[in-house]
């Protein structure tokens, strides 16, 4: 019984493909190394943040300072979205809760 429940929660569910989904395109997208692309983008954004921090801001106008603040906020949001957190599936969450209940 417990094994059946675990299999139900841990097996991925199938989603109906939309009108624009093409298996060839999806396979090509999956082969792209997204981790390397995200790492390269993150490195570039971190370099830009360092450049902004080292900048002499005393001779900038208010508008230029505001633009820099907006850029820093946008970079922070992008970095947070790229690698900001641990994601658990519903099945994994249920397993963790069951283990906690059983062990405590």
- DSSP string for residues in 10-70: HSPPP----TT--HHHHHHHHHS-HHHHHHHHHHHHHHHHHHHHHS--TT--HHHHHHHHH
Res 93: pLDDT: 82
Average pLDDT over residues 25-49: 72
Distance of CA 103 to the CA centre of its chain: 32
Three-state DSSP state, 9: helix
Model confidence pLDDT, tens digit, residues 41-68: 888 889 999 999 999 989 999 999 999 9
Model confidence pLDDT, tens digit, residues 1-18: 667 666 666 665 555 555
pTM score: 0.49
């Amino acid at each position: 019984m417990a094994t059946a429940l675990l299999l139900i929660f841990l097996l991925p569910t199938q989603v109906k493909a939309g009108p624009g989904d093409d298996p060839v395109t999806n396979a090509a997208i999956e082969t792209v190394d997204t981790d390397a692309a995200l790492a390269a983008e993150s490195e570039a954004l971190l370099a830009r943040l360092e450049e902004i921090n080292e900048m002499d801001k005393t001779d900038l106008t208010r508008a230029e300072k505001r633009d820099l603040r907006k850029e820093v906020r946008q970079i922070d949001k992008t970095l947070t979205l790229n690698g900001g957190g641990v994601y658990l599936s519903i099945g994994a969450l249920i397993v963790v809760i069951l283990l906690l209940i059983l062990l405590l």
